[in-house]
Amino acid sequence: MRIPSLALVFSTLALASAAYAEEGMWTFNDFPAQKTKAAYGFEPTPAWLDHVRLSSVRLARGCSGSFVSASGLVLTNHHCVRECLDQLSTAKDDFVTRGFSAKAGPDERQCPAMEINQLLEISDVTARLSKVTSGLADKAQNDARKAEIARIEKECATSDQLRCDVVTLFNGGRYDLYKYRRYQDVRLAFAPEAAIAHFGGDPDNFNFPRFCLDMALVRVYDGGKPAVTPEHLSFASTSPKAGDLTFTSGHPGTTRRLKTISELEYLRDVDLPATISRYAELRGMLTEFGERGKEQRRISLADLLGVENALKGLTGRHQALVDKRFFATKQSEEKTFRAKLEADAAKRAAVVPAFAAIETSMTKLAELRAELNGKEGHRGFGSRSLAAAVSLVRWASEKDKPNAERLPEYGDAKVPALKAQVLAKAPVYPELEIAELTFGLTKLREALGPGDPFVKKVLGQASPRQKATELIRGTKLRELSDRTRLFDGGQKAIDSSKDPLILLAKAIDADGRAVRKKYEDEIEAVVKKNSEVLAKARFETLGAGTYPDATFTLRLSYGTVKGFPHRGQAVEPITTVAGLFDRATGAEPFELPGSWIRAKSKVSPETPMNVATTNDIIGGNSGSPLIDRNGALIGLVFDGNIYSLGGDFGFDPELNRTVAVESAAILQALKNVYEARRLVAEIEGAAAGS
Amino acid sequence: MRIPSLALVFSTLALASAAYAEEGMWTFNDFPAQKTKAAYGFEPTPAWLDHVRLSSVRLARGCSGSFVSASGLVLTNHHCVRECLDQLSTAKDDFVTRGFSAKAGPDERQCPAMEINQLLEISDVTARLSKVTSGLADKAQNDARKAEIARIEKECATSDQLRCDVVTLFNGGRYDLYKYRRYQDVRLAFAPEAAIAHFGGDPDNFNFPRFCLDMALVRVYDGGKPAVTPEHLSFASTSPKAGDLTFTSGHPGTTRRLKTISELEYLRDVDLPATISRYAELRGMLTEFGERGKEQRRISLADLLGVENALKGLTGRHQALVDKRFFATKQSEEKTFRAKLEADAAKRAAVVPAFAAIETSMTKLAELRAELNGKEGHRGFGSRSLAAAVSLVRWASEKDKPNAERLPEYGDAKVPALKAQVLAKAPVYPELEIAELTFGLTKLREALGPGDPFVKKVLGQASPRQKATELIRGTKLRELSDRTRLFDGGQKAIDSSKDPLILLAKAIDADGRAVRKKYEDEIEAVVKKNSEVLAKARFETLGAGTYPDATFTLRLSYGTVKGFPHRGQAVEPITTVAGLFDRATGAEPFELPGSWIRAKSKVSPETPMNVATTNDIIGGNSGSPLIDRNGALIGLVFDGNIYSLGGDFGFDPELNRTVAVESAAILQALKNVYEARRLVAEIEGAAAGS
């Protein structure tokens, strides 16, 4: 967390301090309107804030969006509806590749697993919770708080159409009740081809300049009819220019801005480099695996894209942490905070030791990391079938325990997620499984050493490839029926199984549990407790003049349209349709779909395509509307630049940029490329009526 | 460079200070005998030092060794004679796999490209050089020094059997003349199978415990007969124990212990992570490429092993730099040195600004790195043929320039190396070339971005794989005759060539030269000049009480047999033959050769196999004898542990370990596994006679 008022004390930070104003993922009930007034001469009114809040939506499985008509039309990203597109596709009709456009209302197709939430109300329940917990000891306090939260949520959720969550902010400094309207009938109205939605693929991912139409339109239904949504955003009639004030209203997932320097150093020096190196090697393996043939390319593509996206994300975080200027800012913040604590005798005694306790834990974690990941965090050493076997073995022994005593991922609330993993219908490919398990076992041997007893238990006398081949050829767990039988059959079914993966999962279960317990007791518990001590002290010191770490709840961020420096060169903040056609080579991932090639003469080349802004966002903000001071929609957030990944740890006003599709590109595409007249009329009707 | 006498000032270093005594790659004419006397009660006499020096040899192409008989027998590593084994092998007789043992003298086979040097004399020529340079300006000084060095070397090398080098020590603080006896007739006497020489392969490389017989015996000949070598080492009759004093006498290649903190931070945060990630991805690609089939495995294996070895080396260096204790020591050293400079008005003005100049250069380098590597440091983007094309194009334009004006790698002295690269007879495999070039072009696009003009120039509208396939299928440069024609044909041949690789090399030549010039002028020159300023100031401040950075000249290091802590556990310093048999699984790289399986009952299981010591070594020390206080050979250095890689930047007495084959294992193997009676008798005769 940045401390703008103190930053000025340090001369090295003074230059950046003006830009600091743009940092912040603010809650709607605590937006610092006076700051935008001072900096931009614009103070959002309560009505403005209510309108934007009620026009914003959350896709429950991890994205954001906004209403763009009075009839429930929701604008979000293509990558936020990708799962729905996959589920609706058939071998004949691949909507991911060729896109989807519902000519009329009845053509809109229901997304099987989509839920959309609209935030109706926020209320502070901190006092109510304090009342029931005051005077109690640690564990009793925790239990009482949990029980009261359950009561509050139950009282609030008076119908199936409502969802109520008590949200923990500032690590427990504040508790707010968020009340949502819940829409469970969501239908797909429009999606372009993947080739234009993700134009540029991995090379352009997290980069800028950018030329993507990463958009989709879905509609919420109520009682089988389009829902009535009077609060919605209209498209702005003008395009944003450099320097314009912009807002994003969306749901940032998580940030770790309160991490101490020792935790950041652990990430920078130990965890990120090791993870990046592993993923890079896996990427090389999977890319080359795809060269075995077309079918091998197809079956490995999803894993490859996942690894590439993760690799970009990890590399961006690492780059932020090794940026000297950025890291020095984090160090200064901690120093300032620490000095404040040192100046207060009570806090010096009660709070300051938390820094050292966390630092010691990081040293321990660096030592335990290889063993922890090798024995417990391995997820089947890269094999889906072995991961399922591990879950099946554990489920059999956990399911009969009282809920509170189980490993958390086997608790009642997690059973649906567990089933989704273990009983997944998705096909498992032995050839890919062997390659990925070989990789995982090779890495295990590398991490713990060939002489390690656990490694010997797993590999025996075999090489990683021999063992992987033997296990995957020998298992029947690829069959859903077999997994279902073992899932339902409990300990007895597990005990009598001769499946080699079940046998291996049983053999290594105790080792995994042991190292996990060691980690939880000796490291995680210490870090958690001391982080809470620091967070509380920080909230007491700074109060609510700042914003809480992201919690996948609605936040408002303000910023401006602005380029950034990259390797000594200035990157302009706005790209155009002309640039898109320039960048297209005809070779994947720079291959335009036929619709765009045919429509080239109909789309004005100077139409702005994508825009970079200084808004403070993070994963979960995908699909957020980009809004001007009039509350009109000027863009659709779909990514950040590479420096935005450092936003996990802190906001860097010099470099961190939000990336959005401009509203003009969306309208031009709908009108002239896809001829989606019905939706254009609906959106423009919304604009006219606003 | 460590400053032991000042280290005590800092309380955080006090604990480690006793162990600091073990740091140092000392020259033989400046060995601190009083230090070993104080610490171990043993003071090497001048006679002891002469005996060890004259018994030590250098393999001119990058290794160390020692005479072990009076008839020119030299003990070195298997990996130091690997090239010779390759060259002597035929399709029928693969000496790498099955080993080599000359039954009688005439069976010893000449190694085509091996030269061995024995250091006869060291003399200080600093004064002579100062005399000719005093009073001259920078460039004139440099020219005068070069001319005088050439004169000194020429005066000294009075016959072909002598080699004389003026060695620059302490960045020019001192110049010594090294006079060597040169042996150019070197013959292979014995090498075991690669499977036991490198038992454990990549998983065990740079690790400990270790179980390798990485040894070989060659013999120097003089006038067609075994050379007479009265100065040689005898094998010790007892095995070393934990705590025993040990010496290594060998030729460490290069160290960078004088790097400033900002240079180390650049390596830690920018260069090493990026290089590690790239090599890791390449490793994944090459490993999987080998799965295409047996032939693909064969043609890619050498590249894979090279990448794996480099990856270990880079990772070890990174681990050293992110070790907080190690880095804090480096920071303290710089702080202390800087404080001394600050305290001296003249040095404050003339020397202190060098730190800031280097730091600024590192910031510039971080910005330029991607462009520099992408446009100039790419080595044919991973393709041998394209690398040859680049060299051919440059050679044509450089060869007619005066020698002093050429790019250094095209200077007269470098022509043999250039020819070895461009006119290599080794087969080039199109399938592997396409895979490696695809990888290189993908990385280029990633580094500079798809919109970069240089990337567009290279790729055009093609994807990396399309372009690589087109180029490699279209080139004729795989034919040696074609490369020879272009090498000899000069600019005219290049100008008329239609080969696609030549055309590409021509198209990108100017870009590469431009970014290189920018780097050399704006970064390299600044760093070089300021590094010299710092080194000179350091030498003036500390004098010769310390040792110079490694220069691939003979150095003596002292230490003890000692384990080390690794991930919270203590690693014992000595392994045994029993441990070797325990570790053998039958699966490569833990597969014992048949000779060892058959001889199992004949080799005493408690025979010590490998040993870890605290001696301070680095690459180039491979093959160095490990010597006891009696001057007897107790082991053969072949590696270091993973922490030894940090020895590049500084010696960490807690963790840095030298790894050697114990002399007992060598003798047991020669006697009982290989029944090399002739060589055993010769070695034991040497022992008896010593």
CB < 8 Å from B in window 452-481 of A:
459-463, 466
| B681 within some domain | yes
Residue-wise pLDDT for B544-559, tens only, equals 578 999 999 999 999 9
Domain boundary among A487, A522, A557: A522
CB < 8 Å from B in window 97-126 of A:
none
Q: Rounded to 10 degrees, what is the CA torsion of B454, B460, B466, B470?
A: -90
A563, A573 contact by CB (below 8 A): yes
Residue A682 and residue A588 share a domain: yes
Q: What mean pLDDT, rounded, does chain B reach?
A: 92
Residues 6+ apart with CB under 8 A from B276: A273, A276, A277, B311, B314, B315, B318
Nearest CB among B283, B292, B586 relative to A281 is that of B283
Residues 6+ apart with CB under 8 A from A73: A67, A189, A217, A218, A219, A226, A229, A232, A679, A682, A683, A686
Confidence band, pLDDT 50/70/90 cuts, at residue B21: low
CB < 8 Å from A in window 578-617 of B:
583, 585-588, 590
Segments of chain A scoring below 50 in pLDDT: 1-20, 688-690
CB atoms A567 and B209 under 8 Å: no
Q: Which residues of A touch B310 (CB under 8 A)?
A: none
pLDDT at B18: 35
Q: Which residues of B touch A370 (CB under 8 A)?
A: 567
Q: Which residues of B touch A270 (CB under 8 A)?
A: 322
Q: Is B297 on the interface with A (CB under 8 A)?
A: no
Q: Show the domain range for A419.
A: 378-522
- In whole angstroms, give the CA distance from residue B469 to residue B463: 10
CB < 8 Å from B in window 192-211 of A:
200, 203-204, 207, 209
Residue B289 and residue B215 share a domain: no
| A330 within some domain | no
Q: Which residues of B touch A322 (CB under 8 A)?
A: 269-270, 273
| A623 within some domain | yes
Nearest CA in chain B to A359: B324
Residue A668 and residue A566 share a domain: yes
Query: How do strand B100-101 and strand B116-124 relate by DSSP bridges?
Result: unpaired
CB atoms A324 and B265 under 8 Å: yes
Residue B457 and residue B328 share a domain: no
Q: Rounded to 10 degrees, what is the CA torsion of A21, A27, A28, A31?
A: -30
Query: CA B510 → CA A294, B393, B513, B517, distances in Å?
Result: 39, 11, 5, 10
A301, A633 contact by CB (below 8 A): no
Q: Which amino acid is at B276?
A: I
Residue B451 and residue B394 share a domain: yes
Nearest Cα to B69, choosing from B248, B179, B190, B224?
A: B190
Q: What pTM does this model have?
A: 0.91
Secondary structure (3-state) at A118: strand
| A201 within some domain | yes
Substitution target from A270, A272, A287, A467 for chain B, most B beta carbons within 10 A: A287
| B36 within some domain | yes
| A649 within some domain | yes
Nearest CA in chain B to A362: B324
Q: Is B284 on the interface with A (CB under 8 A)?
A: yes
Q: Which amino acid is at A220?
A: V
Mean pLDDT check: name the lowest of A418-427, B113-122, B209-218, B331-340.
A418-427
Residue B504 and residue B357 share a domain: yes
- In whole angstroms, give the CA distance from residue A445 to residue A370: 10
Q: Is B291 on the interface with A (CB under 8 A)?
A: yes
Closest CA–CA distance from residue B377 to any residue of chain A (Å): 18
Residue A475 and residue A578 share a domain: no
| A128 within some domain | no
pLDDT at B366: 94
Closest CA–CA distance from residue B278 to any residue of chain A (Å): 7
Confidence band, pLDDT 50/70/90 cuts, at residue B420: confident
Query: How do strand A109-110 and strand A162-169 relate by DSSP bridges?
Result: unpaired
Nearest CB among B200, B278, B363 relative to A450 is that of B200
A278, A307 contact by CB (below 8 A): no
CATH number at residue B27: 2.40.10.120
Strand partners, A566: A569
pLDDT at A2: 24
CB atoms A281 and B280 under 8 Å: yes
DSSP symbols for A537-564: HHHHHHGGGS-PPP-SS-EEEEEEB--E
B521 burial level (CB within 10 Å; 0-12, 13-18, 19+): exposed
The separation between CA A291 and the C-alpha centre of its own chain, rounded to angstroms, equals: 31
CB atoms B463 and A587 under 8 Å: yes
Q: Is B569 on the interface with A (CB under 8 A)?
A: no
Residue B522 and residue B452 share a domain: yes
Q: Which residues of B touch A568 (CB under 8 A)?
A: 367-368
Residue A500 and residue A553 share a domain: no
| B148 within some domain | no
Q: Which residues of A touch B281 (CB under 8 A)?
A: 280-281, 283-284
* Distance between first and last Cα of chain A: 37
Nearest CB among B204, B281, B363 relative to A284 is that of B281
Domain boundary among B310, B343, B376: B343
Residue-wise pLDDT for A34-59, tens only, equals 999 999 999 999 999 999 999 999 99
Cis preceding linkage at B464, omega within 30: no
The separation between CA A475 and the C-alpha centre of its own chain, rounded to angstroms, equals: 34
Query: CA B391 → CA B239, B269, B471, B486, B510, distances in Å?
Result: 52, 32, 17, 10, 13
Strand partners, A222: A225
Substitution target from A198, A269, A437, A583 for chain B, most B beta carbons within 10 A: A269
Nearest CA in chain A to B432: A288
Residue-wise pLDDT for B302-316, tens only, equals 899 999 999 999 999
Residue A560 and residue A482 share a domain: no
CB atoms B567 and A281 under 8 Å: no
Domain boundary among B494, B524, B546: B546
Number of domains comprising chain A: 2
Nearest CB among B270, B276, B586 relative to A277 is that of B276
Residue A570 and residue A517 share a domain: no
CB atoms A567 and B367 under 8 Å: yes
- In whole angstroms, give the CA distance from residue B585 to residue B587: 5
Cβ contacts below 8 Å, chain A against chain B, sum to 123
Residue A484 and residue A429 share a domain: yes
